[in-house]
């Protein structure tokens, strides 16, 4: 029977809401929860705090993670792993919940397969690139945050009849870029998953302007190109003035949307229930409004998304 579990987090919107759900579900089973501070570094250094029902009050609406986070180089060394194991033994952790993206879930998979630690993942990344998982925590909020910024930029684009190139995050995945572009009514989007021709885009701009079109917004996924280079090329080919905006980390922060909070409640709850039921080396995922388990071995493989039909729709409507 499980008595105490640990939880490690990365940062994005919805992580605190998931912590709240996880801690309160655990409490309802009389299960203790230890919050591991600063990601895997905290596991190595034995940096843990007690999380009880009250300690997760008032955090459902907070962005980031109250446990803080870090990219740990040490955890990928043998000595770092041994120190992490010592903490797990000393603190008598019977299992771990890991909330994060591919890097965090890879760490969880390693602990399960190499050391037999019982682990359960909760996919959380604005990139939405966890394989086999439709919705990662934080992605919906990131789309909405980027969309809000884009709407504001559109005011200037329209008023001054300008071309804007906006770069969004997402690492090697075009999910965030595609959704923002479609929701924002953008003229084009450059994705890691698709080929594109800047010459063709420039031709469209010139033809559109000749028809009386006055402003253009092109979204660039960071994994495909840089806004600066794309804008410079457009100016070079058309002679038209361009402006850029690199949205950066504002997309990772902020208050979680209702969608992310509800997802967090369901995933946080399910992660604990499945750990108690004896599951390990998997992550929880929402599919057709039901919780499914995805093996971590599958989850950490590169995700191949296709955006052809959404891209066609964007072009038709722009």
Which active-site residues does the annotation give?
A: 127
x/- track of binding to ligand F6P for residues 228-257 (CB under 6 A): ------------------------x-----
Dihedral of alpha carbons 70, 74, 78, 81, sign: negative
Name the 3-class secondary structure at 127. coil
Instruction: Please give the Cα distance from 245 to 265 (Å, whole number).
Output: 34
Considering the complex, state which of residue 125 and residue 141 has its C-beta at the smaller distance from ligand F6P: 125
Q: Which residue has the tokens 């850029």?
A: 244
HEC string of 38-55 equals CHHHHHHHCCEEEECHHH
Query: In this structure, are residues 245 and 213 in contact, taking their beta carbons and an 8 Å threshold?
Result: no
Dihedral of alpha carbons 136, 181, 301, 64, sign: negative
Q: What residues have CB less than 8 Å from 186, skipping those under 6 apart?
A: 150, 180, 217, 218, 219, 314, 318
Considering the complex, state which of residue 32 and residue 129 has its C-beta at the smaller distance from ligand F6P: 129
Considering the complex, state which of residue 147 and residue 240 has its C-beta at the smaller distance from ligand F6P: 147
* Residues within window 72-101 making contact with ligand F6P, judged by CB under 6 A: 101
x/- track of binding to ligand F6P for residues 8-37 (CB under 6 A): ------------------------------
x/- track of binding to ligand F6P for residues 118-137 (CB under 6 A): -------xxx----------
Q: Report which residue's Cβ sits closest to ligand F6P.
A: 169
Determine, following the binding rule CB under 6 A, whether residue 140 of this chain makes contact with ligand F6P.
no
Pick the binder of ligand F6P from 68, 154, 171, 194 (CB under 6 A): 171
Considering the complex, state which of residue 172 and residue 310 has its C-beta at the smaller distance from ligand F6P: 172
Q: How far is the CB of 101 from ligand F6P (least distance, A)?
A: 5
DSSP 75: G
Residues that bind ligand F6P (CB under 6 A): 101, 125-127, 169-171, 222, 252
């Amino acid at each position: 029977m499980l008595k105490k579990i640990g939880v490690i987090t990365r940062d994005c919107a919805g992580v605190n809401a998931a912590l709240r759900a996880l801690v309160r579900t655990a409490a309802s089973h009389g299960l203790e929860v230890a919050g591991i501070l600063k990601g895997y570094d905290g596991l190595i250094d034995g940096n843990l705090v007690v999380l009880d029902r009250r300690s997760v009050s008032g955090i459902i609406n907070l962005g980031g993670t109250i446990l803080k986070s870090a990219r740990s180089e040490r955890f990928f060394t043998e000595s770092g792993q041994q120190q992490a194991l010592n903490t797990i033994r000393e603190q008598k952790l019977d299992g771990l919940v890991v909330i994060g993206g591919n890097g965090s879930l890879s760490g969880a998979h390693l602990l399960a397969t190499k050391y037999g630690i019982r682990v359960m993942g909760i996919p959380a990344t604005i990139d939405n690139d966890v394989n086999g998982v439709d919705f990662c925590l934080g992605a919906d909020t990131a789309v909405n945050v980027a969309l809000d910024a884009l709407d504001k930029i559109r005011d200037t684009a329209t008023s001054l009849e300008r071309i804007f190139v906006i770069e969004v995050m997402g690492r090697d995945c075009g999910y965030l870029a595609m959704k923002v572009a479609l929701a924002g009514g953008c003229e084009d989007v450059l994705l890691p998953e698709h080929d594109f021709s800047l010459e063709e885009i420039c031709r469209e701009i010139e033809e559109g302007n000749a028809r009386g079109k006055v402003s253009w917004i092109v979204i660039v996924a960071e994994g495909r190109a840089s806004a600066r280079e794309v804008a410079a090329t457009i100016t070079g080919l058309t002679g038209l003035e361009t402006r850029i905006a690199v949205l950066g980390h504002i997309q990772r922060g902020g208050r979680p949307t209702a969608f992310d909070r509800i997802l967090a409640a369901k995933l946080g709850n399910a992660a604990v229930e499945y750990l108690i039921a004896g599951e390990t080396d998997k992550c929880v995922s929402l599919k057709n409004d039901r919780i499914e388990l995805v093996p971590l071995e599958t989850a950490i493989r590169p995700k191949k998304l296709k955006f052809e039909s959404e891209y066609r729709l964007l072009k038709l409507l722009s």
